[in-house]
Amino acid sequence: MSSLFSAATLGGLTLANRIVMAPLTRSRTGHAGIPGALNATYYAQRATAGAIIAEATQISPQGQGYAYTPGIYTDAQVAGWKLVTEAVHRDGGRIFLQLWHVGRISHPSLQPDGGLPVAPSAIRPEGKAFTEAGFQPFVTPRALATAEIAGIVEDYRRAAVNADRAGFDGVEIHGANGYLIDQFLKDGTNQRTDQYGGSIENRTRFLLEVVEAVVGALGVDRVGLRISPASPANDIADSDPQPLFDHAVAALARFDLAFLHVVEGATGGSRESTFDFQALRRAFKGAYIANNGYDGAMAEEAISAGRADFVAFGRPFIANPDLVERLRSKAPLAEADRDTLYGGDAHGYTDYPPLRRAAA
């Protein structure tokens, strides 16, 4: 019977355990989105995870939606990320990069030349964007012209190539949490009448084109996908998500992806949902990574019962760089300082002590 702490295969990699560090936006890369030594220290501290999925990283200037988040579209950003991957690999870890385009979840102050954010349809989301001037209300985005979409697919492909140049073990395509791919998938944000809108087949077209491009760049065993079928994050919804995501996962079968990373329930919130996540687990041939509100006991039970191959932990990794050891020994977990989650310096980022030092 498998254990949370047993070795396992993910794509072409053998991982030391089944604990995955989920991507966590921390907004600590400065104006140009270039990771540095501080970020390398942060990730290396957490290298005992079976695999790290690094924070969401914009594939282009247009893809940015938050201040001080990293990119993977310039040579300087590639060099910065190389510091991170080398540090993680020196400590025996494995690390993937999450490829991100936020779509409408942005603000003109974050966009090239102050332009409007883009989306499948010109529908303004409720909420506020985190900008360098503080939180500002979202605006109504500009609907993408059909002819523009191929260029964004190419941005994903180029970002995957750059991730490889930076030394990542693989990439995760961010198709969750109300960002651009999710906006194309769900009918609450996609009211297009071209080949990318209307039917389920059309609404999944953009996702499949992105997957095909990224797989073409890296190979199937180095690519995974994150989805959040039932999450309302970033003011998104679908009128009937089960057939939509059943179809999407079935359509992914031809790619034989390394993993499917599923937010079960509302992102960062309730796990209660009528959605049948195990239907996706049964349909997907690769590794299934379960995510959302798991503690050690829940994760162990999910692995032992075969409901997941890996379990991703997000916020617990912030204040517990040695989360794997704490879960193994059933030690208490430290609580993160909410005031230092986004932006700032080493405080609340790399200064959380591991268990042994905390007890000394």
**How far apart are alpha carbons 80 and 163 in whole angstroms?**
11
Query: Which residues, other chains included, contact 123 with Cβ-Cβ below 8 Å and sequence gap of 6+?
Result: 104, 140, 141, 188, 189, 191
**How far apart are alpha carbons 340 and 344 in whole angstroms?**
7
CA dist 88 → 95, 261, 321 (Å): 7, 21, 13
Establish how many alpha carbons lie within 13 A of residue 108's alpha carbon, considering only the half-sphere containing its beta carbon: 9
**How far apart are alpha carbons 136 and 166 in whole angstroms?**
33
Are 350 and 55 contacting, i.e. CB atoms less than 8 angstroms apart? no
Of the residues 68, 179, 288, 294, only one is catalytic, namely 179
Tokens at residue 238, please? 């679908």
Radius of gyration of the chain (CA): 19
In the annotation, is 68 catalytic? no
- DSSP for residue 238: -
Tokens at residue 283, please? 């349909």
Query: Which residues, other chains included, contact 97 with Cβ-Cβ below 8 Å and sequence gap of 6+?
Result: 53, 54, 57, 72, 81, 163, 166, 168, 170, 171, 172
Secondary element (H or E) of residue 287: strand 287-291
Catalytic residue numbers read: 179
